[in-house]
Amino acid sequence: MKTFTLPKKAARLIVLQRIELAGKNLKKIRKILGRYFFSNFITKYFLNSAKVGFEYHKIMQNEYLTIKEFISNEDNFFLSIGAGVGGLEAIINQNFPSKNYYFIEKNFISKKVKYGWTGKLNSEAYNSLEIQREFLKSNQMNDHQINIIDFDKDNFPMIKFDIITSLFSLDYHYDFDLYSDYLKKVSKKNTKIIFDTIRAEHFKKIFKNVEIIKSSFDTVHRSKRIICSQFINP
C-alpha cells in the first residue's frame, strides 16, 4: 500500500491545501459552521492522519502522472511555487533521486481559508515551512536536497531551473504577474514551467510554447494545466 508518512499536524495543512480530501461530511460541517470554525477547529482535531496520508498520496501520484513525461534525468534543479507540504516533489524524488528541490511558499495559515482567485492581493496561505521540511524528510527527501524559501522574508534563489511547477497556486489563486519578472531571470530556453490556470490562451502572448496537458472540469479545480517555455519578452 503506497502512502505518505505524515508528521504530526501535517494532515490539517494537507486538507486545507487539498480541500477535496475533506470528504462530504467535513464539507457539510464547513458549510454549516463556517470557514473559520472549519480551518481552526475541525481540521485541527477531527482528521484521520493515516487516511489523509493515503488519499493525499493517491492524488499526488495522479498529479505526477500528468507531468512525468516532461521530466528527464538531465533535469537537476526543480523549483516549486506553492507546493503545499510537497507531496508531488516527494514522488518526483522517489522516481528521480538526488535532484535539488527549491520551494517558495508562505509560512502561515489564513484564519478563514477562502479558495479561489485573490489576484494581486495574494492574501491566502496555508502552510508551515517547518512541517513542510519534516514532511519531505519523512518521505525520503534528504536535508541537503531541500531548499525552502519564505515568500515574505527570504531572497529568492537566483539559479537557472530546469523544471518549475506550481499546482493550483500561481495564476490559480494569484496573478502570474507576481512572479513573471523573477521567472524570466531564472529560466533558460528549455526550462519547463508547469501551472494551472483558467486562462490558458492568455499565456500564448507570454510564452513561445504553450501546451495544455490536463483539463479539470470539477468545481473545485476547474482549470487547465499548461506547460510553457521561452518567454517572448525575456
Tell which one of 22, 113, 167, 193 touches ligand SAM (CB under 6 A).
167
Q: Min. distance of Cβ 10 from ligand SAM in angstroms?
A: 12
Q: Min. distance of Cβ 58 from ligand SAM in angstroms?
A: 13
With respect to ligand SAM, which residue has the nearer C-beta, 179 or 189?
A: 179
102 binds ligand SAM (CB under 6 A): no
Q: Is residue 53 within 8 Å of 138, Cβ to Cβ?
A: no
Residue 9: exposed, middle, or buried by beta-carbon count in 10 A (0-12, 13-18, 19+)?
Answer: middle
Tell which one of 67, 81, 164, 200 touches ligand SAM (CB under 6 A).
81
- Per CB under 6 A, the segment of 36-44, 70-78, 102-110, 200-208 that binds ligand SAM is 102-110
79 binds ligand SAM (CB under 6 A): no
Tell which one of 55, 89, 105, 134 touches ligand SAM (CB under 6 A).
105
Q: Min. distance of Cβ 69 from ligand SAM in angstroms?
A: 19
d(CA 117, CA 173): 4
Tell which one of 38, 77, 151, 203 touches ligand SAM (CB under 6 A).
151
Q: What are phi and psi of 64, to 5 degrees?
A: -60, -40
Degrees to nearest 5, angle at CA 159 with 155 and 160: 140
d(CA 138, CA 135): 5
Of 25, 28, 67, 62, whose CA–CA distance to 47 is shortest?
A: 25
Query: Backbone dihedral region of 168: left (phi > 0), alpha (psi from -120 to 50 degrees) or beta?
Result: left
* C-alpha to C-alpha distances, 204 to 69, 200, 208, 213, nearest whole angstrom: 22, 8, 7, 14
Binding mask 14-53 for ligand SAM (x = CB under 6 A): ---xx-----------------------------------
Q: Min. distance of Cβ 84 from ligand SAM in angstroms?
A: 3
Residue pointed to by grid coordinates 519523512: 138
Residue pointed to by grid coordinates 538526488: 98
With respect to ligand SAM, which residue has the nearer C-beta, 208 or 212?
A: 212
135 binds ligand SAM (CB under 6 A): no
Tell which one of 39, 169, 191, 229 touches ligand SAM (CB under 6 A).
169
Binding footprint of ligand SAM on the chain (CB under 6 A): 17-18, 81-84, 104-106, 122, 125-127, 151, 167-169, 173-174
